[in-house]
Amino acid sequence: MQQVFAAVFCSLWQQGKVMTEKNNPWDIFKNGADGSASHLKRSGGILMPVFSLPSPHGIGTFGAAAYKFADFLAASGQSYWQVLPLNPTGFGDSPYQCFSSAAGNPYFIDLDMLVDDGLLTADEVQKSDFGGELRRIDYGKLFSLRFPLLRLAAERNMRRNAAEVEQFSRCCSTQIYDYAVFTALKTHFGMKPWTEWNAGKAMPKQLVPAEFVESQADEICLQLSIQQLFFKQWNRLKNYVNQLGIGIIGDVPIYVALDSADCWANSRHFMLDESFVPTDVAGVPPDYFSPTGQLWGNPLYNWEIHASENYAWWAERLQCAQKLYDVVRIDHFRGFESFWAVPFGETTAENGRWLPAPGMDFVNAVKKRLPGLSFIAEDLGFLTPEVHELVKNSGFPGMSILQFGFNPDANSDYLPHRVAENRVYYTGTHDNATIMQWFAEASEPERRFAEQYLALNAAEGINWGMIRGGMCSPAGIFIAQMQDVLGLSAEGRINTPGVASGNWQWRMLPHECSAALAEKLREYTRMYGRLHDCGEINFEHNTVVPREYCEKMPAHKNGTNCLFGLLRNISIQSITG
């Protein structure tokens, strides 16, 4: 069987097969004829990373808790679930430093669903200790214990679901094929970066002998099988979320990691020298918050090459995102106007320089190739008039951050009454403190101004007063971090830029996503005209299993299968089709 997969794989990999474009029927925005957002629908949503969902197995997954959270969003009247990148994480566990910008993170494959599918046994799962800390993720244990289970499930998947795996192998993108080969080779070379595979030197895709790839066919097929399991579970969850009338907002980082399938397979698209060493790397210049700047270290794009190919690599990358999400937030959008280039080998970002980027030439090419995809431009950071002009001309809605608005000496554009309608307004992002942490650490003048401006008080709660301020703004979309809805302080922070450890670990506890909280959030959402109403959902009684499993479940007490019987005012027939 693996020989069949290998033959299919090698043929398609040599052809450089690219997925067919999918028409996205999800109308998040009231779009202009060219795909730009001419008017945002007034609505709300929650930013909640998948890894932060509760789970008995160490990290949030596409399992039961994800369905319950979708029901929480519906019950609270939200229109969007915003997630962080779903790609396989590398060094530092950051979803912004991934081994691929197209493949899925195997950690998110739910083990209990694999048991239900007969690909693992309950005993095999229970033998693994993924850490007893419910609030934090132990990535060390995940790395050592999760992959043996996933490999076992993937091997059984190839035997028992051969047709599904083969169909996936025929239809997935070139970038996922590249990831499968890259990961197989990386495994063969002891997880070393591709820049050290050739006796300490680089071995990019174009220098890998075809016979060597063929010798790794079994491992390549296993990696494709793991990806098939990821996308099967994600598509199942996303379909359920969309059936509730909720859209998924996903994140696409502007840069990729050096040690990634993206850079390995497309080295000429990046600023690398003849030895495949970066000439310059990404970062941001020094500012008030960081006197030495931020040195990200990602390889930079060779925009001349991209432009000569009409940005085909970027189009395929965004096409992969289109299959994952309903709306794409492009991280560090200002980098398409100009970017901070730091010479490779520098230890800080101080000695960088600004270099030009393609601007509207890139935006127009993307719009033409992907007319059905809606974008959000993350236009935070060091902004110039040229960057503002690019965001305006793109037609993409930009972002504003509520907690940035309370400098009493400035009439900030981040204050609720000054936020434009064509903006997505956040309490904060994954890189910011939670509202409660921000308020505790803000200067006294900032706290006084926020208290006066929003009439903050202990009875309502500082976090809810801030959420009220964002809800009542003119911004078309308002998104709160789940930690802010929960009223968490520093313990709920996702990431602290410039700090190397302790990030990407926060998890919600199972009991925190309660009916009372949904009811409270729903009332705020209704009060300020952002309510999305799909009927009453008693999500606390939902056994939250995917639609495919409902046939196995006993009838619910109201006479329907457990999942869909929860949706009042919506006919079962209209949901199940």
Q: What is the DSSP letter of 401?
A: E
Q: For residue 331, indicate whether it is catalytic.
A: yes
Q: How many CB atoms lie within 10 A of CB 167?
A: 13
CA distance 246 to 78: 7
* Active-site residue (options: 71, 378, 379, 446): 378
* Active-site residue (options: 138, 431, 451, 460): 431
* Active-site residue (options: 93, 331, 337, 446): 331
Q: Decide: 179 and 13 in contact? Cβ < 8 Å.
A: no
> To which H or E segment does residue 168 belong?
helix 162-171
Q: Decide: 482 and 508 in contact? Cβ < 8 Å.
A: yes
CA-CA distances (angstroms) from residue 412 to 294, 399, 405, 447? Answer: 24, 14, 5, 15
Quickly tell me which residue has 């270099």 as its tokens: 355
Q: Which residues contact 196 (CB under 8 A, 6 or more apart)?
A: 189, 202
CA distance 377 to 40: 14
CA distance 163 to 8: 12
DSSP state letters, 329-358: EETTGGGGTEEEEEETT-SSSTT-EEEE--
Q: Decide: 400 and 421 in contact? Cβ < 8 Å.
A: no
CA 535 to chain centre: 28
Q: For residue 273, indicate whether it is catalytic.
A: no
Q: Which amino acid is at 366?
A: V
Q: For residue 304, indicate whether it is catalytic.
A: no
CA distance 18 to 378: 28
Quickly tell me which residue has 């995917």 as its tokens: 546
> To which H or E segment does residue 324 belong?
helix 312-324
Which residues are annotated as catalytic?
331, 378, 431
